Amino acid sequence: MNCHGCGVTAKSEGPNNVLSCNVCKSTYCYQCLNISPENVLKLSKESLASLKCPSCTNVTRRRNTADTPVGAFPLAKGSPMHASSVQPKPSTKSPSTSQSTKKSLDSQQILEDMSKLLDNKLAPSSSFMTNLRSSLKEDIEKIISSKITMAVEQLKDEFTETTDFIVSEQVDIKSELKEKCHKIQQLEAELIKSNAEVSKLGTRLAIMEKISRDCNIEIHEVPESKSENLLTILQNLCKVIDTPLNEADVKAYRRVAKLNPASDRPRNIVVTLASPRQRDTIISAMLRYNKQHTNDKLNSTHIGLTGTARRIYVSEHLSAETKQLHAAARKTAKELNYRYVWVRFGRIYLRKADDSDAILVRNLDTLANLR
């Protein structure tokens, strides 16, 4: 049986050899307990039955010296095995026990030294921690710098691809824009040429319309009737102004549509005569009649029409554009106090006073310049 204290094998369990723990059954020799066999013999049976080892009593083992028993059992004071009753005994430990104890102390000292060393090394102000933090900082900075560099390079590549695509698209757009600009210039040149041709054609058309109307007169404000005879009305009008008209001198006569359908004015009568000279003769005779009869100018009652008297006007047959310009000229003359507005050979004239020069109204710009 081995001693739990020194590890030496005992010959047999007995009062002159070892004592056993009544709890864990561990054995200790008398030499380790530093107890004499005589004191053990003095113990009663109750004391022997209640003996416990240091492990079971949770008592820390003390260093084995010549004066202190190793792993002594906790005994009541006054008992034969109590520390006060046990006589000191010279240490007779074996060399292996001393070496084991020394190794234990050396290991404990090494652990304490290592703990102090770690405490010193891990102190915030220690050079080790300073160097560690510096090294970690450098490593982290290198890692972050590497990642950022990779990200930047990737962004550069993507940006380069994007810019290359945009540049290529821009080149295509510039090429298309240049081509479109060239086409626009061509179209502008063609438009200028077309406008010039249209202007020429407009002038020619106006001349042709004027020529086609050279033999026409237009009679305004003649009341309409379902049973009316336009030839009879024309002949009566010529009799009133003292200008006889033969039926053979009249090529055509008709009422024409109104420029403003909402107007309540009667439709005008257009008469086509044999020659422009005959047209001018009738218009001149009508002007003379009105001058001679300032208080009773030509009206509907003079030509045999019943009802309310309406003033009758006789003028050249003008085109729609010339009529619009004539209306604008009359409006401008009224606003600017021009005294005379008339039409002669398809042209419109203005005169502010008797001693003023006549103004030829070519277009609306001429009227705008008068303001």
> Based on the domain organization, do 226 and 304 belong to the same domain?
yes
Q: How many CB atoms lie within 10 A of CB 364?
A: 13
Specify whether the CB–CB gap between 212 and 322 falls below 8 A.
Answer: no
Q: Evaluate whether residue 116 is within a structural domain.
A: no
Write the burial class of residue 188 (CB in 10 Å: 0-12 exposed, 13-18 middle, 19+ buried).
exposed
Q: How many CB atoms lie within 10 A of CB 230?
A: 16
Q: Which of 172, 189, 212 is the last residue of a domain?
A: 212
* Lowest-confidence segment of 77-91, 160-174, 278-292, 327-341 by average pLDDT: 77-91
> Based on the domain organization, do 75 and 90 belong to the same domain?
yes
Q: Which of 61, 96, 131 is the last residue of a domain?
A: 96
For residues 23-27, give the mean pLDDT: 80
pLDDT in tens, 62-99: 444 444 444 444 443 443 344 333 344 444 445 555 56
> Based on the domain organization, do 270 and 326 belong to the same domain?
no
> Based on the domain organization, do 185 and 259 belong to the same domain?
no
326 φ/ψ angles, rounded to the nearest 5 degrees: -65, -40
> Based on the domain organization, do 300 and 229 belong to the same domain?
yes
Q: What is the predicted pLDDT for the residue at 20?
A: 80
Helix (H) or strand (E) segment spanning residue 194: helix 127-212
Q: How many domains in the chain?
A: 4
Domain hosting 329: range is 319-371
> Based on the domain organization, do 231 and 288 belong to the same domain?
yes
> Based on the domain organization, do 87 and 142 belong to the same domain?
no
> Based on the domain organization, do 313 and 323 belong to the same domain?
no
> Based on the domain organization, do 43 and 65 belong to the same domain?
yes
pLDDT in tens, 107-142: 777 887 777 777 776 777 777 788 888 888 889 999
For residue 314, is pLDDT > 80? yes
> Based on the domain organization, do 229 and 241 belong to the same domain?
yes
